Amino acid sequence: MWRALLFIGLLCVAALSAVWLADRPGTVLVTFGGYEIQTSVAVAAVALIGVALLLTLLWSVITAVIGLPSRLTFASRARRRARGYQAVSRGMVAVGAGDPVAARRFAGEAERLLGQEPLALLLKAQAAQVSGNRAGAEAAFTQMIDKDETRVLGLRGLFVEARRRGDAASAREYAAEAIRLAPAASWASDAVLEARCADRDWRGALEAIERRASLGLVDKATAKRHRAVLLTADALDRVEHDPEGALYSAQEAVKLAPTLVPAAALAGRLLSHKGELRRSAKVVETAWRNEPHPDLADVYLNLRPGDSALDRLKRADTLLRLSNGAAEGRLAVARAALEAREFGRARAALDPLIADRPTMRVCLLMSDLEQAEHGATGKGREWLARATRAPRDPAWIADGVVSEHWAPISPVTGRLDAFVWEAPPEVLIAPELMMSDEVTADPDEEPKALPPAPVAPPPAAREEVAPPVAKAVEPPVREKTAPPVPATPEPVVFPATPPDVPAPEEAPPARKGLFR
């Protein structure tokens, strides 16, 4: 619309100019080389415009002839680049389809047409990975780190290849260099955090968490939880040689995550050793309300050294009230009542737990109760046999590994805060060690299977039948001390099918009495 109006406007101006010249007659005289040319003003104007148009056309022809070679070169280059990028596209499709022959062919064509273009180098590396040519892949990634725009991508590829061949030192160097160049690279940040956790450098891991949180790589709640886990790990490592430092770290962890069971249990135990019983009880009660746990019950019942069994039973009643009748609260009451020889109280606490399918710990407590109250009878052995087929009690589980003790990282993948408190399944399937940290997927590669974990011997072959999480009832005159927490949990994998219940004449020998 505007173009039409502009054209009409210019046409009107030209018409007015022609009328203006026609209304004002005059002559133009040109003398050149002994010749005189005389004409009207209108004709002279038209001739001048014609000469200008002719010169313009001549100039256009000259410039077109001069620029013809460069245009031909540019067109050839454009066609070459188009063919190169088409080869890259087809090569990527071949990589995704798992066709190493086509991937190598298109990678060679892309490199010939595009040279050291980033996409051509990436296709070359991926084609080498699909073909199983690790040396070729590393060579392509090494070429990438020579260019600014592909340096981080090349470092990631070299990092993946270093981890694949088990070169942890080189992998850490590549990740550290990538962090320096691109602090927001999440894969490098994860690698640095995993390396520091593997080295048990909890303070360095805390710095990595702070950097990740400041860059927005993790949300605030996750960063807060990870800081609490790392502080708990630091406290566990320092509890033997630096109790004050361990207490400080544990208290900081409790402030960040009041419901983190290992932090609350450790802080409560260290505070009770210092004689700060009220603070210790408050820490344990806060965590207990959210998740009743046997470690918390153990700390709470033995809060004050030298207490009688009846005093511990009163504190167990408090835990039962705080947990609103949860199973762990009933187990704590039953154990404390058994130590105080209040057999009726112990039975009343366990009755709701044996109504449906009692777990291993419940069966073992019933066996201890029968032996303590009635001596070594068939009833106690019957409960002992039922424990072999009872459902598993909750335990610390991470990536298919069952452990008696909590740990800050998974023993399989190195993942932070991997352990959860839950009942293990009947069949534990070990996860694959291979993780998807490729630049792109490598579908032809065979995954590395987890080596077989040690399997606990069948309960029938041992003197006592007890699951890993069960704890023997201690005599009233003996104060219970918490076992030291190992640096890394020992994986325990339960058998898929529990052993058959032995016949009465072949029943396992009765467990030792309640009192040694």
Which residue matches tokens 């070594």?
376
In a domain, 356, yes or no: no
Report how far residue 406's alpha carbon sits from residue 416's, in angstroms, rounded to the nearest whole number: 12
Domain boundary among 114, 144, 174: 144
In a domain, 161, yes or no: no
Distance CA 220, CA 225 (A): 9
Per-residue pLDDT of the chain (516 residues; tens, 9 = 90+): 788 888 888 888 878 877 777 776 777 777 877 787 777 777 777 788 888 889 889 888 888 888 878 777 777 788 888 888 898 899 989 988 888 899 889 988 888 888 878 888 888 888 988 888 888 888 889 988 888 888 999 999 999 999 988 888 899 999 999 999 998 888 999 999 999 999 999 999 999 999 999 988 889 999 999 999 999 999 999 999 999 999 999 999 999 999 999 999 999 999 999 989 999 999 999 999 999 999 999 999 998 888 899 999 999 999 999 988 899 999 999 999 999 999 999 999 999 998 888 999 999 999 999 999 888 778 889 999 999 999 999 999 999 899 989 999 999 888 999 999 998 886 544 444 334 444 433 434 443 443 444 434 433 333 333 333 333 333 333 333 334 433 444 443 333 333 333 433 333 344 333 223
CA 84, CA 294: separation in Å to the nearest integer?
A: 65
- Residue 93 in any domain: the answer is yes
The continuous run of DSSP H or E covering 403 comes out as strand 401-403
Q: Report how far residue 51's alpha carbon sits from residue 46's, in angstroms, rounded to the nearest whole number.
A: 9
Tell me how far apart the alpha carbons of residues 168 and 172 are, in angstroms, rounded to a whole number: 6
Would you state the pLDDT for residue 512? 37
- Distance between CA atoms of residues 433 and 163, nearest Å: 12
What pLDDT score was predicted for residue 231?
96
Look at residues 88, 119, 144 and tell me which one is the last residue of a structural domain: 144
Q: DSSP per residue over 186-206, as a string?
A: HHHHHHHHHHHHHTT-HHHHH
Task: For residue 202, give the amino acid letter.
Answer: W
- The answer to the question of residue 311 being in a domain is no
Q: Judge whether 130 lies within some domain.
A: yes
Comparing CA positions, the residue from 384, 404, 383, 376 lying closest to residue 471 is 404
Phi-psi region of 503 (alpha: psi -120 to 50; beta: other; left: phi over 0): beta
Question: Does 104 map to a domain?
Answer: yes
Query: Which token pair is 423?
Result: 């009942």
Give CA–CA dist 220/299, Å, rounded.
Answer: 31
**Mean pLDDT of all residues in the chain?**
80
How many domains in the chain? 2
Residues 132-187 pLDDT 10s: 888 888 888 998 888 888 899 999 999 999 998 888 889 999 999 999 999 888 89
Dihedral-angle region of residue 507 (phi above 0 means left; psi in -120 to 50 means alpha; beta otherwise): beta
Cα 185-187-191 angle, rounded to 5 deg: 120
pLDDT tens for 227-252 read: 999 999 999 999 999 999 999 999 99
Task: Identify the domain containing residue 480 by its residue range.
Answer: 381-428+455-516
At 71, which CATH number? 1.25.40
439 lies in some domain? no
Give residue 427's pLDDT: 54
Residues whose CB falls within 8 Å of the CB of residue 97, separated by 6 or more in sequence, listed in order: none
Q: How does DSSP assign 93-153, residue by residue?
A: HHHHHT-HHHHHHHHHHHHHHHSS-HHHHHHHHHHHHHHT-HHHHHHHHHHHTTSGGGHHH
Residue 419 lies in a domain: yes
Q: Which of 144, 179, 195 is at the close of a domain?
A: 144
